[in-house]
């Protein structure tokens, strides 16, 4: 009994003989025909990215402000105007 390699007694053979003569160098000669990848980020993706870039929540400060709101000492016209200006400037960045 004789045992031959994967290609039989003739040796290894290409799986697709007509493609065996295809050369990578020949296809690289025409870069205009090569497809190009492109990435587009949606508006929602930009908003979510902005949310992920926000700083961490400072829970002590949030609790202090909650107590001020509950006692009625937090809301003043100046603070509300400043908060509104900050909010509008942040939203215009998206």
Kindly indicate the confidence band of residue 4, based on its pLDDT and cuts at 50, 70 and 90: low
- Tell me what pLDDT residue 47 has: 93
- By 3-state DSSP, what share of the chain in percent is helix, strand and coil, each rounded to 5? 55, 0, 45
pTM over 0.85: no
Show me where the domains of the chain are located.
Answer: 43-92
Place of tokens 């004789």: 2
Reported as a single tens digit per residue, the pLDDT across 67-79 is 998 999 888 899 8
- Tell me what pLDDT residue 93 has: 77
Residues in the chain, overall count: 94
């Amino acid at each position: 009994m004789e045992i031959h390699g994967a290609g039989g007694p003739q040796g290894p053979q290409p799986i697709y003989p007509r493609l065996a003569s295809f050369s990578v160098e020949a296809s690289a000669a025409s870069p205009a025909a090569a497809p190009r990848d492109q990435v587009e980020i949606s508006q929602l993706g930009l908003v979510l990215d902005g949310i992920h870039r926000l700083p961490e929540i400072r829970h002590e400060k949030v609790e202090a402000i909650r107590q001020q709101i509950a006692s009625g000492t937090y809301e003043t016209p100046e603070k509300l105007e400043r908060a509104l200006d900050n909010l509008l400037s942040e939203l215009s960045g998206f």
